[in-house]
Amino acid sequence: MFQWKQEKSYVYAVGLMSGTSLDGVDAAVVRIDGCGLESKVELVHYYSRPYDDALRGRLKELCDPVSSDVAKIAGMNVYIAERFAEAAIEAVREAGLRMSDIAFISSHGQTIWHMPETSPTDPYLTRSTLQIGDLSVIAKRTGCLTVGDYRPADMAVGGQGAPLVPYGDLILFRHPSKGRLLQNIGGIGNCTAIPAGAGVEDLFAFDTGPGNMIMDQVVFTLTDGQMSYDSEGAWAAQGQPDVELLEWMLSNPYFALQPPKSTGRELFGASYTAEFIEMAKARELEAADIVATATAFTARSIANACRDFVMPRCRLDEVIVSGGGAHNRTLLRQLAELLPEQAILTSGELGLADDAKEAVIFALLGNDFLRGISNNVTAATGASRPTVMGKLALP
């Protein structure tokens, strides 16, 4: 039986994160002291490895049942793991460390399908999730213990397998007197509400809906692939949201569901975006107005989730934004206008790089997995009980 031995009071580890935005892999080299909710973590170095257009396009194909197949999934499971391993090795090199200094690597993997509910018409399509990026490949290429594939363990005890970051949000951002909402804006937006002085039993979290996913796909489509995102929200700032189209988008039944809830490209992916663009063009909207409407959609869905589901349950003093959306000035300005009662901050303003937060949190999840400590948040995922999430691959 494998038993993890730790000789020092601290470890160096690498957290790997690649989200639903499909923009690349983030690698966070961290030093972790202790374990569980009392863990202390220091970001030693952050490294980002963007996906090229060909790889991003192939991953989008895998997320669409029309264009995906088992051969493509099997091949990409290994190919993307090689890229993850390269990112980890380069991050450690840039940090001035050696791979032998690293106790473990923790990888979220690349989500290509997330199905939190069983199909009402096909019993074989049961609650399930799939993250690719084979752990054994990462372990063998890097020579490090590798932990990953966290979601299935939570789903096995009745949870939705998402969101996973609330556990780390609590460790990193709890405050004795301030109520905080941690709003990550990656491909999908997810939030963690942390009441003042909260413990893990006080948390609640859920996916707010699309983050950058629709905005990025709109920009990619309107520029025929010349641009993959709206840098700092500059294009959206030139347009005006279409009110009627925006209200149609916000009428999606997902937004009325009570938490816990999670979503992904299965609902708000390429087909949804194509329908949105078609409707926008039928309304003869200019390109800037289409981008502005998509941006306003993300801002409104986040603000509505905050008002409908968070504010009735706890006092909030600050909304702390992380992920790629933290760089979108237009989006942040809209959030500030929609939530004037709260201070809108980014995690970078509190000392943790906006793009690094989730990779850091996956390192924390891996640290507690290796110590046998439960690392899910039942109030966030709907799981019936706490459980240890993760799987292990040996080098």
- Residue 21 among known ligand-binding residues: yes
Other Cβ atoms within 10 Å of 71 Cβ, number: 8
Q: Is 64 annotated as a binding residue?
A: no
Compute the Cα dihedral for 272, 277, 282, 288 and give only its sign.
positive
- According to the annotation, is 295 in a ligand binding site? no
pLDDT for the residue numbered 1: 56
Q: Is pLDDT of 7 > 80?
A: no
Q: Is 20 annotated as a binding residue?
A: yes
Nearest alpha carbon to residue 358 among 179, 214, 79, 167: 167
335-353 residue pLDDT tens: 999 999 999 999 999 999 9
Q: Kindly report, residue by residue over 88-147, the tens digit of the pLDDT.
A: 999 999 999 999 999 999 999 999 999 999 999 999 999 999 999 999 999 999 999 999
Residue 274 phi/psi, 5° resolution?
Answer: -60, -40
CA-CA-CA-CA torsion sign (386, 138, 15, 17): negative
Residue bearing tokens 């989200």: 19
Tokens, residue 374: 């439960």
Structural domains of the chain sorted by starting position, each given as residue range(s) with its CATH number in brackets: 10-162+356-393 (3.30.420.40), 166-350 (3.30.420.40)
Residue 19 is assigned to a ligand binding site: yes
Q: Is 351 labelled as part of a ligand binding site?
A: no
Give the integer Cα–Cα distance in Å for 183 and 209. Answer: 11
Mean pLDDT, residues 193-198 taken together: 95
Band (pLDDT 50/70/90 cuts) for residue 265 is confident
pLDDT tens string 344-381: 999 999 999 999 999 999 999 999 999 999 999 999 99
Tell whether residue 68 is among the known ligand binding residues. no
Determine whether the annotation assigns residue 25 to a binding site: yes
A 10 A CB-CB count for 348 gives 17
**3-state helix vs strand vs coil in the chain, percent to 5:** 45, 20, 35
Single pTM value for the model: 0.91
Could you report the per-residue pLDDT of 234-244, keeping only the tens digit for each?
Answer: 999 999 999 99
Angle at 48 between CA 45 and CA 53, to 5 degrees: 175
On the question of pLDDT at 219 being above 70, the answer is yes
